[in-house]
Amino acid sequence: MKIAYLINQYPKVSHSFIRREILALERQGFDVLRVAVRGWDAELVDPEDRSEQARTTYLLQDGVGALAKAVLRVAAQAPRRFAAALRLALQMGRRADRPWPYHLIYLAEACRALPALHAFGVRHVHAHFGTNPAEVAMLINALAGLPYSFTVHGPDEFDKPGFLGTAEKIRRSAFVVAISSFGRSQLYRWAGHRDWGRVKVVHCGLEPAFHAVPPVPTPVAPRLVCVGRLCEQKGQLLLVEALAQLAARGIDFEMVLAGDGELRSEIESLIVRHQLDGKVRITGWISSEQVRDEILSARALVLPSFAEGLPVVIMEALALRRPVATTYVAGIPELVQPQENGWLFAAGSVDTLVAVLETVLATPAEELDRMGAAGRRRVLERHDVDTEAAKLARHFEEAVAWTS
């Protein structure tokens, strides 16, 4: 079956889970057309991302003129469908998080995508994230009748579902994917009860190449790692405050902040202010292989997030036999079990975070090894990428059969 994946930016360092899902579907026998709004000129570290970039069709790459021509062509060839899609775009612009001109751009992007979809022979369109990619997929459905679905990750989609038109996107879709039971419950809040059956749970998955490595003993050094975009929701500023308290108590540690982002300069300033230069290191963007090495070099992963969906890096750490210290947020407690494979603490509490960090650093290596082994068993049971892709494949096949 030929399907299209529609993403706002692809490939992207923090979206390796989408690449894994696409490649797993191709192993299931699907032909996948990658379609992205932007990203053709992004700087990429991972060789696999660079390979994906060369295989992706970009809707904005040829500029505004190409969008305008696409709109005129579709309006001339299918005026009734175009009028219906235009009404839908304007409807989505009411009380939206973005003003109506953006929604006309989404319509233009849908028009621009159609030739590539038709040339490839696409039978179904799947979007990642319930924001503008899901709207473009919905407008493609209005223009061409192609069934669509989309995956909602959170937390952004859960912050303003009314302004994103989530209920309308679900109502018109063939189905919608939540990555956790928590995510499903949030979609139930906004979908009409009659549409609950459209909501499916498909976990993000890990491919064997990432975790098929021999066990690496827990390091003796008191090194911890936090992996993620440097942004408000990941809680790195709170983490630095907690680390300052550890240093003031004379507790030895090293913290690696693996990632980059909009808060980097503020985090660096806080590190300097607390005189943690020799104890806290920021890596910047690194490849999947480098992320794996940083996790294996640490005693545990620490993720003090304020808001999440279900972070893939937690799955990665557990698969590599490293326990996780993280917050009681969203879908995380579905995977991290206190004292079994990690520690859970209240989000936003620096005192609780300090206590957990002390516990992690004081835990004997043999206990960390036991917790890591338990975490690996749990994550491989729940997050094997080929198993999850097979679930998704069945939903695609059912959607196409239903509309054929």
Whole-number Å distance between alpha carbons of 101 and 103: 5
Among candidate residues 404, 395, 401, the one with its CA nearest the CA of residue 149: 395
What average pLDDT does this structure show over 175-199?
Answer: 96
**For residues 330-351, b (16+ Cβ closer than 10 Å) or e, as one string?**
bbbbbbbeeeebbbbbebeebe
Which two tokens mark 3?
Answer: 């399907």
pLDDT higher than 80, residue 108:
yes
pLDDT at 66: 96
DSSP letter string, 171-229:
HHSSEEEESSHHHHHHHHHHS-GGGGGGEEE----B-HHHH-S---PPPSS-EEEEES-
The runs of H, that is alpha helices, within 236-384 are: 236-248, 264-273, 288-296, 312-319, 350-362, 365-382
Alpha-carbon torsion (118, 122, 128, 132), positive or negative: positive
Strand partners, 7: 36
DSSP class of 8: E
pLDDT digits (tens, 9 = 90+) for 10-20: 998 888 899 99
Regarding beta strands 300-303 and 223-227, do their DSSP bridges make them parallel or antiparallel, or are they unpaired? Answer: parallel
pLDDT higher than 90, residue 84:
yes
pLDDT at 163: 87
Alpha-carbon torsion (23, 24, 30, 34), positive or negative: negative
Q: Which residue type is seen at 143? A: L
Instruction: Please list, in sequence order, all residues whose beta carbon lies within 8 angstroms of the beta carbon of residue 253, skipping any fewer than 6 positions away.
Output: 222, 223, 224, 243, 246, 247, 279, 357, 361
Domains 2-205+384-403 and 208-382 share a fold: yes
| H helix count then E strand count, the chain | 18, 13
pLDDT higher than 90, residue 323:
yes
Q: Where are the domains of the chain?
A: 2-205+384-403, 208-382
- Number of other residues whose CB lies within 10 A of the CB of residue 155: 16
Helix (H, G, I), strand (E, B) or coil at 281: strand
Please provide the CATH number assigned to the domain covering 208-382. Answer: 3.40.50.2000
pLDDT at 211: 75
**For residues 287-316, b (16+ Cβ closer than 10 Å) or e, as one string?**
bbeebbbbbbebbbbbbbbebbbbbbbbbb
Residues in the chain: 404
Whole-number Å distance between alpha carbons of 117 and 111: 10
DSSP class of 15: G
pLDDT at 38: 94
Domain 2-205+384-403 has CATH 3.40.50.2000: yes
Tell me what percent of the residues of the chain surpass a pLDDT of 90. 87
Higher-pLDDT residue of 371 and 49 is 371
The model's confidence at residue 341, banded by pLDDT at 50, 70 and 90, is very high
pLDDT digits (tens, 9 = 90+) for 190-241: 999 999 999 999 999 998 877 788 899 999 899 999 999 999 999 999 999 9
Element (H, E) at 263: none
Q: What is the pTM of this model?
A: 0.93
pLDDT digits (tens, 9 = 90+) for 143-158: 999 999 999 998 989 8
**Residue appearing with tokens 């009748």:** 145
pLDDT higher than 80, residue 249:
yes
